[in-house]
Structure formats: C-alpha cells, structure tokens
Amino acid sequence: MKKIRQRLFVALTALQLVGAPAFAFADSGTAAYTYCDAQVLAKHWKKSVKEAKAKLAETDRAAVEKALNDARGTINNEKREICLFHESRFSYDDAEALASAWGIGVSEVKATIESKLFWGSSSIIDDELARIRSGEGFEGEGEGAENDVNEAAANAFFESKDYNYCDARLLAAHWQIATWDAKVTIGQKIIWDSTQGLEVMLGEAREAAASRQDKCEFYEGPFTFEDAQLLAKSWDISVAEAKATIGNKLTWGGNKAVRSALDYARESTKPEKTKVDKTKKVEKAKKIEKKNTPKPKASTF
C-alpha cells in the first residue's frame, strides 16, 4: 500500500512538472482568483499585491489568464518566494493527511502544494483531500472495526471548528504519544460529547507547554493569511503582529476568540447605510401607516 501511495504521489507530481502550463487556470473556472495569483501578477508587474488584486477584479478573465500564464512562465525560472504554503488556504492538518495518504514527508507535501498553487492547479489538492476524507484514502489498510472507529474519530477532529493541529501537537507532547493518536483522542471526545473533559486534558497540556516555552504558530491553526491581514487592519497592527497574536490565542485554546474577532472585523468593513436611505425608509413607513389608518366616521349630529 505504501508503494501504491508513493506511485500516486509521483504521478501527481509528474502531471505538474511535465504539463505545468496546462493547469495554469484549473482553479479559475469555478472559484475566484487566489492570493497566490495576485502575488504572481504583483511580482510580474512589479506592483503591490493590493494593486494586483484590484486588477484581477477589474480585468476580463481572458486577459487575466494570459497575464498569469506569461507571469508564471517568467517567474518559474527565478527563486519564487511566493505562493508559500502558510499563506494558502490549506492547513497543517491537510498536509499531514496528504503525507499519510501519499507515504511521504509533510515538507514534501508542502512543496507540492506550493507548486500547484503557483501553477493554478490547487483544485487537484482539493480533490485529493476530499477523496482521502471520504474514506477512500484508507482503503485496503484497516484493522477491522478498530480502524473504522479511529477513522471516524479522526474525521471528527478534522471537521471540528474548535480544535486544530496545535491542540493535538501539545496534547501529544504532554502525553508523549504520536500527534495522530492525539487527534484520534480529541475526535473521540468530540463524538462522545465529552468536551468538558477534553478541555481539562488540553488545559494541562497547555500549561505544560507554557512551562517549556512551547507555543502555537499561526500556520498551525485553521486561519489564512488574508484572515491575518483583516485582523491586522481591525487591530491596527502589522500582519506579523496579528499572526503572532493569533498564534498566542491558539496556544491557549482561543480558536473561538479569533473567529469572533474575524466576524467583528468583517462586519466592521461592511458599508453603513446612508442617512438618505434611512430617511426614505421613515417616509415610506409613514405613508404605509397613513394608508392603513382608518378615517374617522362623520358625525351624525
């Protein structure tokens, strides 16, 4: 099975290397352009990422795709330093799941994801993750019912919005077990609705981590680079400071706190209704009220 996984990885990598330009716009047919696309154009045009994003929104698709194709062809021969894994929508958990499925190291998976992001073919990664998490990725490997239970627990962990890779890593370090086993443990607690006991366990793990100065990094959580940018603007700090703050909150189980901050930041960026709109609404309400108010009957005296 390991050899089969490795052959699958080699085949996927070969597809990328041999026919890279063919995948140039694999994502763009079904989704908006990515942060990586903006980085590619910014580097090619020697402009800021913000300016490139604006261009992506304004320019017609055919022109954008031609520009991206030209840019990728030019930048590919340079030291890119863009489209980095930690700036993408993929998490460390995703990388671990792919590493397990392909039988390779996490660092190799990250490099593959970065390459596919650069060439606009990250939908291949999405498809592969969907296949793995649907259960196909475990085919032929089981220990019967026990494996099914572990798989269900792992899926519960991956699907949870409240727990992340760093929670599993800190718990694994505290108990001196594999990170995968910690994920399964967390997932089982979620399935059994024993989150109170889970919080006690994680609290001890976090305290132990603090005593050895071990903390979560931004990239170990479920948040994206654009989330960090949004919070940096909301908190009036740099992106680097926002990432450090998120990492600190993750260390102490602050997933929900970060999500709440993001919700507030997004709400704050929505345009406020103008006074004119409010006035019109008031006038409309008065007209409706007047229309629905019964006229007084004429006096019979």
The predicted-structure confidence for 242-278, as pLDDT tens digits, reads as follows 999 999 999 999 999 999 999 999 998 777 654 445 5
Per mean pLDDT, which range of 23-37, 62-76, 127-141, 178-192 is the poorest?
23-37
For residue 285, the 8-state DSSP code is: H
Pairs from 174-179 (Cβ < 8 Å, separation ≥ 24): 174/204, 174/205, 174/208, 174/209, 175/205, 179/96
For residue 294, the 8-state DSSP code is: P
Taking Cα atoms as reference points, which of 121, 96, 98, 103 lies closest to residue 28? Answer: 121
Q: Which two tokens stand for residue 165?
A: 């890779």
Return the residue matching tokens 């017609």. Answer: 60
Asked if residues 125 and 90 have their Cβ atoms less than 8 Å apart, the reply is yes
249 & 159 share domain:
no
Per the structure, how many domains does the chain have?
Answer: 3
Domain that holds residue 193: 145-211
126 & 160 share domain:
no
125 & 199 share domain:
no
84 & 114 share domain:
yes
pLDDT of 81 over the 90 cut: no
Asked if residues 40 and 83 have their Cβ atoms less than 8 Å apart, the reply is yes
52 & 122 share domain:
yes
Q: Which two tokens stand for residue 176?
A: 């001196």
Residue-level pLDDT at 282 = 53
Mean pLDDT of 143-171: 80
